[in-house]
A and B are shown apart, each in its own frame.
Chain A
Amino acid sequence: MDFNLTEEHKLIRANVREFCEKFVDPIAEQTDAEPKFPMETVKKLAEQDLLGIPYPTEYGGAGSDYLSYIIVIEELSRACATTGFTLEVHSSLASFPLFKFGTEEQKKKYLVPLCKGEMLGAFALTEPGAGTDAGAASTVAVKDGDHYVLNGSKIFISNAPVAGVIIAFALTDKSKGTKGLSAFIVPQGTPGLIIGKHLNKMGIRGSLTSEVLFKDCRVPAENLLGQENQGFKIAMMTLDGGRIGIAAQALGIAQAALDESIHYSKERVQFGKPIAALQAIQWMIANMATEIEASRFLTYKAAWNYDQGLPYSKEAAMAKLFASETAARQTNRAVQVHGGIGFIKGHKVERLYRDAKITEIYEGTSEVMRMVISGSVLR
């Protein structure tokens, strides 16, 4: 058993940390406050080979492993949760299904530019009436000659306004529920693809999240991803990997909350001494550090399983459940350590507190994670 990261993993972390100090930290507050999508950062991430980390070099990726990818999301999210999440949606939700289920032609046409950072990707599964219950989708795809015609609406679609391609899910057989769902590759600019209302979020405010509407949207039949009616399996496998990414995002947010709390508690003087000398603060810091370490082990273990070719669905769910709830708890504690100043806009812990919440919700709520875990251990 070996808990050490490899030399490469350590270098990747150090390099991303330096990248964040130079390019992400200085604009993180602005990204949240304006809010502003960090497009310049995305371009720089592409220059660093970070938009296709776990995918093979022949598809434009870096040919690295999933743990490297997870470390990068953790470090980016430590500086700016929006930036970490943008990479996660792009790599886990858009690139993964293409890599896993795409034909060679589809990979060349879409995966390569995604991995090279020539375009961003998005993933459109959720609908107003179909969140956790993906089978209740009402978006339909009807075959018409050598095209499918998509009609329906999606909601909470991150990266959609800036995506070059959207992996979209629609029912090809309405009578079958989840077993009638299919996945389609829908390039931006396809007639009938409409990017709807931009959603004003509580956290990760720099990330662009919107409605996506399909109005007689004609998608070539060659853009069917995988087989017809295979969509639910594609979506679930994609989300399994994505959950490790969200765990890493939560881990980065929680680590930032701890870093800020350690720094502040050593500087802030009350009763003639730094508040870090007070046991009330020390216990909060101790709990934060311990829960974050546990989150890290769960998250890295899930990534390790992925890299070893072992089953990782349960591990990913455990990592996401624990890391996201840890992030919510630790950012709450961090604001408490800071007192009044932590409640003021412009202070990092105020942003972290808002950014943490969504990690308990998207790509499977904590409740769904408990369903996945119990389903696996009670089997």
Chain B
Amino acid sequence: MLKTIACFKWVIDDADIRIDAGTRKLVLDRAGYKISAYDRNAIEEAVLLQEKHGGTVCAVTVAPSSAKACLKDALSRGPDNACYINDPSFADLAPAQTVSILAAGIKAGIEFDLIICGEGSGDLYTQQVGPALAETLGIPCITYVNKLTYSESDRRITAERKLEDGIEVVSAALPALVTILPDINTPRIPTLKQVLGAAKKPALNVTLDSLGPAGDPCLKTVGIQAAVMDRKKIRFAADAEGIRAAVGALLKEVAIA
């Protein structure tokens, strides 16, 4: 029986982010939240493995206490249960803090053979939580996975890693952790009955008091501003001479090579 944990993060829906034109600050007062895109793939992959091999799927998140709505969203996507590790202070955690909280929560009472994480989160995309969690739990980690299979006979997983220079196929004995890329699957849209059934599934509420301190952040966010792309608006004549001059100027600036 395969016991899988799918980790997910509840992030601001980037479609709702507005930019204040004067200060370049992000205007978030009307922003909604959603499950980080790659984490939806993580949940889907866990559910696909369960459909093929049986076992259980637990969706785990570390989130502020105001994020309870994430549970129904996650559970409507197929997991049997969820673990909601929350505290009002968990709003802007550094990756190392998330890892220590997540590891403590998992150690405290979630049995697992396999942990699936998205390669990176939709907001910060640090790609640190998956590998650091594996390290903290002392289990092997396979990153950049775009295909995953499980062999019941020898209880091993085989993964295809999509790297810049090719595909690497690796195998690991369980327990293990994988971080996955979005092309591994297409998450299904939950059906209406799944949405309505999510409220009936068990969700374990784990608070910071039961886990101990999360540690100090080694990162500090001092400000967030929207990136602005200023166009140079260079005009040039559309004849051969004009184009040659424009390309020559760009080459000189090493803007193109």
Say if A and B assemble together. yes
A336 CB to nearest B CB, Å: 26
Closest to A9 in B: B195
Interface contact A11-B191, CB-CB below 8 Å: no
In the bound complex, residues from chain A placing their C-beta under 8 Å from that of B195 are 8, 11-12, 15
Interface contact A11-B199, CB-CB below 8 Å: no
Interface contact B72-A64, CB-CB below 8 Å: no
Interface contact A11-B76, CB-CB below 8 Å: yes
In the bound complex, residues from chain A placing their C-beta under 8 Å from that of B34 are 14
B side interface size, CB within 8 A: 15
Q: B189 at the A/B interface (Cβ < 8 Å)?
A: yes
In the bound complex, residues from chain A placing their C-beta under 8 Å from that of B189 are 15, 18-19, 22, 48
With contacts A8-B199, A11-B76, A14-B34 taken as known, whether A50 is within 8 angstroms of B69 at the C-beta atoms is no
Q: B30 at the A/B interface (Cβ < 8 Å)?
A: no
Interface contact A48-B192, CB-CB below 8 Å: yes
| Secondary structure of the B contact surface, majority rule | helix
Q: B190 at the A/B interface (Cβ < 8 Å)?
A: yes
In the bound complex, residues from chain A placing their C-beta under 8 Å from that of B32 are 10
Q: A7 at the A/B interface (Cβ < 8 Å)?
A: yes
A side interface size, CB within 8 A: 20
26 contacts between A and B (CB under 8 A): A7-B69, A7-B72, A7-B73, A8-B72, A8-B195, A8-B196, A10-B69, A11-B72, A11-B73, A11-B190, A11-B198, A14-B34, A15-B189, A15-B192, A15-B195, A19-B189, A22-B189, A47-B191, A48-B189, A49-B192, A49-B193, A50-B192, A53-B192, A62-B193, A62-B196, A63-B196
B residues neighboring A (CB under 8 Å): 32, 34, 69, 72-73, 76, 189-193, 195-196, 198-199
Interface contact B191-A49, CB-CB below 8 Å: yes
Q: Beyond A15-B189, A64-B196: 10 further Cβ-contacts under 8 Å?
A: A8-B198, A11-B198, A12-B195, A15-B195, A48-B191, A53-B192, A57-B193, A63-B193, A63-B196, A68-B192
B224 CB to nearest A CB, Å: 23
Considering residues A8, A18, A50, A53, which has the most beta carbons from chain B within 10 angstroms of its beta carbon?
Answer: A8
- Total A-B pairs in contact (CB under 8 Å)? 44
In the bound complex, residues from chain A placing their C-beta under 8 Å from that of B69 are 7, 10
Cα distance, A15 to B199, chains bound together (Å): 16
In the bound complex, residues from chain B placing their C-beta under 8 Å from that of A19 are 189
In the bound complex, residues from chain B placing their C-beta under 8 Å from that of A8 are 72, 195-196, 198-199
Interface contact A15-B72, CB-CB below 8 Å: no
In the bound complex, residues from chain B placing their C-beta under 8 Å from that of A15 are 189-190, 192, 195
A1-34 residues at the B interface, CB under 8 angstroms: 7-8, 10-12, 14-15, 18-19, 22
B160 CB to nearest A CB, Å: 26
Q: Can you list, as one digit per residue, whether each of A26-58 has a CB less than 8 Å from chain B (1) or not (0)? A: 000000000000000000000111100100010
In the bound complex, residues from chain A placing their C-beta under 8 Å from that of B191 are 47-49
Closest to A16 in B: B189
In the bound complex, residues from chain B placing their C-beta under 8 Å from that of A50 are 192
In the bound complex, residues from chain A placing their C-beta under 8 Å from that of B199 are 8
B34 CB to nearest A CB, Å: 7
Cα distance, A63 to B73, chains bound together (Å): 18
B179 CB to nearest A CB, Å: 24
A73 CB to nearest B CB, Å: 13
Cα distance, A68 to B191, chains bound together (Å): 13
Cα distance, A182 to B236, chains bound together (Å): 77
Cα distance, A149 to B8, chains bound together (Å): 62
Interface pairs A-B: 5 shortest CB-CB: A49-B192, A62-B192, A49-B191, A49-B193, A7-B69
Cα distance, A14 to B73, chains bound together (Å): 10
Closest to B71 in A: A7
A51 CB to nearest B CB, Å: 10
In the bound complex, residues from chain B placing their C-beta under 8 Å from that of A57 are 193
Cα distance, A48 to B188, chains bound together (Å): 10
A68 CB to nearest B CB, Å: 7
Considering residues B73, B76, B190, B196, which has the most beta carbons from chain A within 10 angstroms of its beta carbon?
Answer: B196
A307 CB to nearest B CB, Å: 14
A52 CB to nearest B CB, Å: 9
In the bound complex, residues from chain B placing their C-beta under 8 Å from that of A7 are 69, 72-73
A260 CB to nearest B CB, Å: 16
Closest to B70 in A: A7
In the bound complex, residues from chain A placing their C-beta under 8 Å from that of B196 are 8, 62-64
B180 CB to nearest A CB, Å: 20
Closest to A44 in B: B189
B13 CB to nearest A CB, Å: 9
A132-171 residues at the B interface, CB under 8 angstroms: none
A135 CB to nearest B CB, Å: 38
Cα distance, A8 to B34, chains bound together (Å): 13
Q: Can you list, as one digit per residue, whether each of A45-86 has a CB less than 8 Å from chain B (1) or not (0)? A: 001111001000100001110001000000000000000000
A148 CB to nearest B CB, Å: 37
In the bound complex, residues from chain B placing their C-beta under 8 Å from that of A64 are 192, 196
A91 CB to nearest B CB, Å: 12
Cα distance, A368 to B85, chains bound together (Å): 55
Cα distance, A14 to B193, chains bound together (Å): 15
Cα distance, A22 to B188, chains bound together (Å): 11
Cα distance, A14 to B190, chains bound together (Å): 10
B26 CB to nearest A CB, Å: 18
In the bound complex, residues from chain B placing their C-beta under 8 Å from that of A10 are 32, 69
